[in-house]
């Protein structure tokens, strides 16, 4: 098991392969419930099943390569990263960025706030997370967020007639 | 004649404005590490819903040309390739710039890019009409075999592991399966979500894969701030003696880039790697490669720009994307109600020639822009990502929402962002994923039609010579790594 978990690439492979096998199983089960073909020899279930099997086999093959240490090289080897300096990774900031991005549609879905307000807060939040709320960046972000939130809301809603979510309880 | 008329059409103020805008935007995005051409073009699609389809596609083609070229600025001055296709440029461009010759490095790269683009443009003009006429003979078996070949090719020619390339391709196909099946109207794999009845829309998937995942990746590597080399004063021109010294390399690398571009699904980064490798093997001074070799810069940049033109050939003649960005262009064509495929030349000839003309004009504009404004572009490459990334996400959110006025598509953007990020962490390439997703409906419908024609007999494939040839290439490419390993051991 240690061979499959020793670095971030191996961990990502293991997690993804597990998800892919689970997804393939779900697709197989759902496809199996489809009615048999009427008009053609294949029907609607055959190709999804075929692809689900291929995904499962390849996911397992990827793990097997990792386990036995026999990673294949395609026709073109990976040239690697040419950058000399490797900066430390910031998983907390990445998680924060993801939460901010997921928060955005979640807030609009509740109907509590519309696009204009959510966009304003989101730009400040994500920009703040990425810059660790540096004063210089935030000083630029506040007017930028205000202009963009109002401007895009007007442009897409008023000009291009895209029905963006609006805050119902605000008078303006 | 048609090309001359097309030049006349694209040099009118509006189309020309979109070519200039697209080329500039592309160069800027290409120059900023962490922003990609795929990201820019995906974001741009919703904004073009209200535009004339010719202008919309002209804009995107110009963005494509600009983004591939712009990557050389950050590759040479920051040691961070602005786009994946500039990785090979970094290996020689940065050392040469660091030795005090940044203008010379840039001049070689920009000049080679121009000629790479123009040589590929010549192939595009000459090869596209006969290829599309040839493709008119294709039936379901040919299309099925060609898509199969494309998927195997992208997997076997993607960087690193072939298993991972194949896995990405099939996973992309799996995500394209839910929804109404066009062949028999059967609703499938919705898992109780009504929103999945129409399947996973292409645009939110692209925005997730190219935009959201990149934002998460950039956030993870936010401390990776490049130290930019000082450009100083000087001219970024290639001198006559440089042209004389490098013209064989430029032509050879451009031809390599174009032909690799024509292979379905293989992107510009592969072209530059292959051209770089060939040039090193043929060089009298291979030891200089990686330390600031002029030949290395020229080979990489000529090939990656030539790839753009080469990759447009299968797109406009057969409706098969030559690279991940071509998959986005393919989706843009469909969104603008233009049916890609061999009939495109017959039904929309002036439109196709306008794209070709716009591609050639964009290359010349790219050369002029980069030559005269490289100093400012170098400053733009170190733009504050904390300001840029939130704005980019807001645009992608609106773009996805505008497609059907529903929040579901925004969730798809977020979801595919996580998938894309996970795939990149596991070094599973995103290109095959996108191309698998785009080609899956074609693969299934042609496979089913072909089997119907052959009364359920799979051997029907081998009764058609072109289909058999495509299938044979797919089989050879699938087993090529194993064959190569055995040959090496001997």
Alpha-carbon distance of B139 to B147, in angstroms, equals 12
Contact with chain B for residue A140, Cβ under 8 A: yes
Q: How many CA atoms lie within 13 A of B240 on its CB side?
A: 0
Contact with chain B for residue A63, Cβ under 8 A: no
Q: Give percent of chain B with pLDDT exceeding 70.
A: 95
Q: Are B201 and B404 in contact (CB under 8 A)?
A: yes
Rank B16-20, B177-181, B378-382, B450-454 by mean pLDDT and report only the highest. Answer: B16-20
Of the candidates B177, B224, B386, which has its C-beta nearest A51's C-beta? Answer: B177
Q: Which of B327, B215, B203, B321 is nearest to B263 (CA)?
A: B321
pLDDT tens digit sequence for B352-367: 999 999 999 999 999 9
Threshold 0.90, pTM exceeds: no
Q: Average pLDDT in the B435-457 region?
A: 89
Alpha-carbon distance of B57 to B71, in angstroms, equals 22
User: Which pLDDT does position A73 carry in this prediction?
Assistant: 58
Alpha-carbon distance of B155 to B479, in angstroms, equals 12
Domain-located, residue A81: no
Contact with chain A for residue B386, Cβ under 8 A: yes
> To the nearest whole angstrom, how far is the Cα of A144 from the nearest Cα of chain B?
9
At CA A57, angle to CA A55 and CA A63, rounded to 5?
100
Alpha-carbon distance of B327 to B330, in angstroms, equals 5
Q: Report CB contact under 8 Å: B184, A44.
A: yes
Chain A positions in Cβ-Cβ contact with residue B385 (cut-off 8 Å): 130
User: Which pLDDT does position B29 carry in this prediction?
Assistant: 87
Of the candidates B158, B215, B220, which has its C-beta nearest A90's C-beta? Answer: B220
Contact with chain A for residue B207, Cβ under 8 A: no
Contact with chain B for residue A7, Cβ under 8 A: no
At CA A138, angle to CA A135 and CA A143, rounded to 5?
135
User: Which pLDDT does position B211 carry in this prediction?
Assistant: 87
Contact with chain B for residue A70, Cβ under 8 A: no
Alpha-carbon distance of B253 to B247, in angstroms, equals 10
User: Which pLDDT does position B461 carry in this prediction?
Assistant: 87
Domain range enclosing A29: 2-68
Contact with chain A for residue B486, Cβ under 8 A: no
Q: Average pLDDT in the B51-62 region?
A: 92
Of the candidates A31, A72, A123, which has its C-beta nearest B189's C-beta? Answer: A31
pLDDT tens digit sequence for B116-165: 999 999 999 999 888 888 888 888 999 899 888 888 877 776 666 888 98
* pLDDT per residue of chain A (172 residues) written in tens, 0 to 9: 667 777 778 888 999 999 999 999 999 999 999 988 877 888 899 999 999 999 999 999 999 988 887 766 555 555 555 555 567 888 999 999 999 999 999 999 888 888 999 999 999 999 999 999 999 999 999 999 999 999 988 887 777 777 788 776 676 6
**Which ranges in B32-161 belong to alpha helices (H)?**
37-47, 53-77, 87-98, 102-135, 140-157
Long-range Cβ contact pairs of A49-53 (< 8 A, separation 24 or more): A51/A27, A51/B170, A51/B173, A51/B174, A51/B177, A51/B440, A52/A23, A52/A24, A52/A25, A52/A27, A52/A28, A52/B174, A53/A24, A53/A28
Domain-located, residue A168: no
- In chain B, which among 15-44 make CB contacts under 8 A with chain A? none
Contact with chain A for residue B224, Cβ under 8 A: yes
List the single best residue of B167, B173, B184, B291 to mutate versus A (max A Cβ within 10 A). Answer: B167
Of the candidates A61, A101, A137, which has its C-beta nearest B386's C-beta? Answer: A137
Q: Which of B425, B430, B174, B216 is nearest to A15 (CA)?
A: B425
User: Which pLDDT does position A74 carry in this prediction?
Assistant: 57
pLDDT tens digit sequence for B318-351: 888 877 788 888 888 888 888 888 888 888 888 9
Q: Burial-class residue B316 by CB neighbours within 10 Å (0-12, 13-18, 19+).
A: buried
Domain end: A50, A68, A86, which one? A68
pLDDT higher at A76 or B423? B423
Q: Report CB contact under 8 Å: A76, B411.
A: no
For chain B, give every domain's residue range: 2-489
Judge if A109 and A151 occupy the same domain.
yes
Of the candidates B177, B183, B481, which has its C-beta nearest A27's C-beta? Answer: B177
Q: Are B303 and B254 in contact (CB under 8 A)?
A: yes
Q: Report CB contact under 8 Å: B451, A109.
A: no
Residue B36, Cα to own-chain centre: how many angstroms?
A: 10
Contact with chain A for residue B280, Cβ under 8 A: no
Of the candidates A74, A84, A96, which has its C-beta nearest B79's C-beta? Answer: A84
Contact with chain B for residue A73, Cβ under 8 A: yes
Closest-CA residue in chain B for A159? B50
Alpha-carbon distance of B180 to B197, in angstroms, equals 6
Judge if A99 and A55 occupy the same domain.
no
- Structural domain tally of chain A? 2
Q: Which of B204, B250, B162 is nearest to B479 (CA)?
A: B162
Q: Report CB contact under 8 Å: A90, B223.
A: yes
Q: Are B324 and B37 in contact (CB under 8 A)?
A: no
Contact with chain B for residue A88, Cβ under 8 A: yes
- Paired with B179 in beta bridges are B188
| DSSP of B288-322 | GTTSS-HHHHHHHHHHHHHHHHHHHHHHHHHS--S
Q: Report CB contact under 8 Å: A52, B273.
A: no
Region of A134 (left: φ > 0; alpha: ψ -120 to 50; beta: rest) is beta
Does residue B102 surpass a pLDDT of 70?
yes
User: Which pLDDT does position A84 carry in this prediction?
Assistant: 52
Chain B positions in Cβ-Cβ contact with residue A20 (cut-off 8 Å): 167, 171
pLDDT tens digit sequence for B31-51: 887 778 888 898 888 888 888
Q: Average pLDDT in the B275-291 region?
A: 86
Chain A positions in Cβ-Cβ contact with residue B90 (cut-off 8 Å): 82-83
Q: Are B302 and B116 in contact (CB under 8 A)?
A: yes
């Amino acid at each position: 098991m240690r061979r499959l978990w020793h670095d971030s690439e191996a961990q990502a492979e293991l997690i993804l392969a597990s998800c892919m096998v689970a997804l393939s199983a779900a697709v197989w089960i759902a496809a199996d419930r489809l009615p048999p073909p009427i008009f053609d020899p294949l029907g609607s279930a055959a190709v999804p099943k075929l692809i689900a099997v291929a995904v499962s086999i390849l996911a397992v093959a990827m793990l097997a390569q990792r386990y036995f240490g026999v990673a294949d090289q395609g026709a073109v080897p990976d040239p690697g990263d040419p950058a000399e300096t490797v900066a430390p990774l910031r998983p907390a900031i990445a998680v924060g960025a993801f939460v901010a991005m997921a928060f955005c549609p979640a807030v609009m879905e509740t109907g509590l706030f519309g696009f204009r307000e959510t966009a304003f807060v989101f730009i400040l939040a994500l920009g703040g997370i990425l810059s660790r709320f540096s004063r210089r960046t935030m000083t630029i972000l506040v007017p930028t967020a205000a202009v963009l939130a109002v401007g895009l809301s007007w442009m897409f809603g008023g000009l291009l007639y895209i029905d963006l979510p609006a805050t119902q309880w605000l008078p303006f | 004649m048609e090309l001359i008329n097309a030049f006349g059409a694209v040099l009118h103020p509006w189309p020309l404005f979109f070519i200039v805008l697209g080329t500039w935007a592309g160069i800027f995005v290409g120059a900023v590490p962490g922003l990609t051409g795929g990201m820019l073009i995906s974001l741009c699609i919703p904004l073009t819903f209200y535009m004339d389809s010719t202008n919309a596609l002209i804009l995107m083609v110009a963005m494509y040309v600009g983004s591939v070229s712009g990557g050389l600025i950050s590759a040479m001055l920051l040691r961070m390739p602005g786009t994946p296709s500039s990785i090979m440029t970094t290996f020689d461009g940065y050392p040469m710039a660091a030795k005090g010759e940044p203008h010379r490095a840039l001049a070689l790269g920009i000049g080679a890019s121009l000629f790479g683009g123009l040589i590929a443009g010549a192939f595009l003009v000459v090869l596209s009409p006969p290829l599309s006429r040839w493709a008119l003979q294709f039936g379901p078996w040919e299309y099925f075999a060609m898509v199969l070949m494309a998927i195997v090719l992208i997997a076997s020619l993607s960087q690193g592991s072939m298993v991972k390339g194949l896995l990405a391709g099939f996973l992309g196909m799996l995500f394209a399966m839910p929804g109404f099946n066009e062949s028999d109207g059967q609703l499938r794999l919705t898992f109780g979500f009504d929103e999945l009845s129409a399947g996973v829309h292409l645009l939110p998937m692209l925005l997730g894969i190219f935009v959201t995942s990149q934002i998460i990746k950039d956030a993870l590597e936010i401390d990776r701030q490049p130290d930019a080399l000082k450009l100083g004063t000087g001219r970024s021109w290639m001198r006559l003696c440089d042209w004389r010294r490098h013209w064989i390399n430029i032509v050879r690398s451009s031809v390599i880039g174009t032909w690799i571009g024509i292979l379905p699904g293989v992107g510009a980064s592969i072209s530059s790697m292959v051209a770089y490798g060939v040039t090193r093997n043929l060089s009298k001074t291979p030891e200089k490669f990686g330390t600031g070799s002029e030949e290395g810069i020229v080979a990489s940049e000529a090939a990656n720009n030539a790839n753009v033109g080469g990759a447009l050939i299968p797109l406009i003649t057969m409706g098969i994307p030559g690279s991940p960005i071509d998959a986005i262009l393919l989706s843009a064509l469909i969104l603008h109600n233009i049916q890609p495929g061999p009939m495109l030349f017959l039904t929309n000839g002036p439109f196709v020639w306008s794209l070709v003309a716009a591609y050639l004009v964009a290359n010349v504009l790219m050369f002029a822009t980069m030559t005269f404004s490289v100093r400012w572009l170098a400053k733009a490459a170190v733009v504050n990502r904390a300001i840029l990334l939130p704005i980019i996400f807001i645009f992608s959110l609106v773009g996805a929402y505008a497609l059907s006025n529903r929040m579901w598509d925004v969730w798809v953007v977020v979801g595919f962002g996580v998938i894309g990020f996970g795939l990149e962490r596991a070094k599973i390439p995103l290109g095959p994923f996108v191309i698998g997703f785009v080609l899956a409906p074609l693969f299934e419908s042609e496979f089913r039609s072909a089997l119907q024609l052959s009364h359920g007999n799979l051997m029907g494939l081998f009764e058609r010579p072109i289909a058999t040839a495509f299938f044979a290439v797919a089989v050879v490419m699938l087993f090529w790594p194993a064959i190569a390993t055995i040959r090496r051991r001997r």
